[in-house]
Amino acid sequence: MKKNTLLKGTFILTLAGLISRCIGFFYRIFLSRMFGEEGIGIYELMNPVLTLTFALCTSGIQSAISKFVAGQPEKTGAKNRLRILFAGLFFSGILSAACAFLVYMKADFISGFLLHELRCAPLLRIAALSFPAACIHACNNGYFYGIKKAGLPAFCQLFEQCFRVGSVFLFWNYAQKNGVTFSITVAAVGLVIGELASTMVSIPVTLLHFARLGDLSRCPAAPLRTLAGQILLFAAPLSANRVCLHLLGAVESARIPVSLQQFGYTAKQALSIYGVFTGMAMTCILFPGAITNSVSVLLMPLIAEADSTRNRHAIRTAILKCIRYCLLLGCLCTVLFLLTGNFIGITLFHSELAGRFIRTLSFICPFLYLNTTLFSILNGLGKTGYTFLFNMAALLLRLGFVFFVVPAFGIKGFLWGMLAGHLFMSAASFLTLRPYIAQSR
């Protein structure tokens, strides 16, 4: 039954993820042609701030909701599951409102001091409006992951992407007909519209789900304070870990254009190269990751449940299958991107540089996809400290390449750093999980 649940949930999320990434893939092509490589670079510089905010406000809390909801008895734990979701929404709501206010008010400081690009400030102010909505549907998604129903998260993902892309296309169509000129800030407006649309779907579906459960007043329930404390104790270190990681990631993203200028590029060239790397090449490399992302999201609650019942055989089987299939997928993608990288770059993005990046980045595919699922298993086993340390070490390694290798060798130095970082994470995760793999059947 659990195997079928994982397969069904993985299929639903993977299908939604692939459709969403297809839309996003062509959306990046559209943006690159409308606003150029420099415009994409400005837009991509905003993403580290968004991921940092998400890590602080929602990421750890969503994982906590998923974990503790999964641990509740199916028949008698309905009221506890509702209280867990409520507590998560409370914490996430406060944090998201505070972050939205802070980013909106300090957008100029963040853009100038952290990102070294003042043109990001308008995008940050607009994107800040999406934080509360993003927190609501992320928490609701965490609940449905916990009860192993992937339908709502999958639909919200598609709904959000369709409204984001559709709204920007409508703005562009209006501009074409009326002779109006839009800047890359229109993409930030689309982001807000997408998040709001997704939340407007998530809320009524979640309310309908609990309405169908009937009267919960007679169900046994732990005190709300106890459940909230458990969520806080689990989410706080996980969120702190992810905040540290994304903060380092923000430093890395902001530093790459600076290091490229030290190599000899102008500011515009450096920003264009960064835009090609993040907005074009990495979009292609991450595309097949829809499969492993879907598996990892659903794997964590299942591993947590197996760990709570001491079912080490189930854990061992999950680890071995993840290694086998992720490496197979990664190797196939490596060959595919090596053969088609130039074609993708030139034909789709009109960029020969994007093609070269895709071919070089193809070698990280096996380790990139494998790390996604191995880290999910480690988190499900409660080893969040290990995932933090591995991520931190890999990021520091990459930062070393950014500060010392990129100024001497250009963007190739960062690509080498990415490969070294992913190799390290794969090796460290495998060694940590080795006791589970080595056990006898």
In tens, the pLDDT along 238-265 reads 787 778 877 887 788 888 888 999 998 8
Q: What is the mean pLDDT of residues 89-115?
A: 91
Per-residue pLDDT tens over the stretch 156-207: 888 888 899 999 989 888 888 887 777 888 889 999 999 999 899 889 988 8
Q: What is the pLDDT of residue 9?
A: 60
Residue 140 and residue 283: Cα distance in Å, rounded? 27
Based on the structure, what is the number of domains in the chain? 1
6 confidence band (pLDDT: 50, 70, 90):
low
Q: Residue 423: pLDDT above 90? A: yes
Q: Residue 113: pLDDT above 80? A: yes
Per-residue pLDDT tens over the stretch 33-59: 788 878 888 888 888 888 888 888 888
More confident residue, 429 or 30: 429
Residue 283, domain extent: 2-438
Residue 264 and residue 273: Cα distance in Å, rounded? 12
Q: What is the 3-state secondary structure (H, E, C) of 131-179?
A: HHHHHHHHHHHHHHHHCCCCHHHHHHHHHHHHHHHHHHHHHHHHHHHHC
Query: Residue 295: CB partners within 8 Å, gap ≥ 6?
Result: 6, 10, 14, 322, 372, 373, 376
288 confidence band (pLDDT: 50, 70, 90):
confident
* Average of per-residue pLDDT values in the chain: 84
Q: Residue 377: pLDDT above 90? A: no
Cα-Cα-Cα-Cα dihedral sign, residues 331, 334, 336, 338? negative
Q: What is the pLDDT of residue 99?
A: 93
Residue 222 and residue 84: Cα distance in Å, rounded? 10
Q: What is the mean pLDDT of residues 377-381?
A: 84
Of 374, 369, 368, 372, the closest CA to residue 431 belongs to 374
Owner of token pair 């709204």 = 167
- For residues 324 and 399, the answer to whether their CB atoms sit within 8 Å is no
Residue 72's Cβ-count burial label (10 Å; 0-12, 13-18, 19+) is buried
Owner of token pair 């404390």 = 229
Amino acid, single-letter form, for residue 234: F
Q: What is the pLDDT of residue 397?
A: 94
Q: What is the mean pLDDT of residues 110-135?
A: 89
Q: Residue 1: pLDDT above 50? A: no
Q: What is the mean pLDDT of residues 353-370?
A: 91
**Helix, strand, coil fractions of the chain, as percent rounded to 5:** 90, 0, 10
The token duo for 53 is: 């905010």
> Which range is least confidently modeled, 112-126, 230-244, 396-410?
230-244
Look at residue 429 and give its three-state secondary structure. Answer: helix
CA dist list (Å): 299 to 2, 270, 292: 11, 39, 10
Segments in 213-311 forming alpha helices (H): 224-263, 267-275, 282-286, 289-308
Query: Cα angle at 253 between 141 and 251, to 5 degrees?
Result: 95
Query: Residue 216: CB partners within 8 Å, gap ≥ 6?
Result: 78, 79, 82, 210
Per-residue pLDDT tens over the stretch 290-300: 777 766 666 76
Other C-beta atoms lying within 10 Å of the C-beta of residue 101:
12
Of 316, 313, 317, 323, the closest CA to residue 292 belongs to 323
Q: Residue 411: pLDDT above 70? A: yes
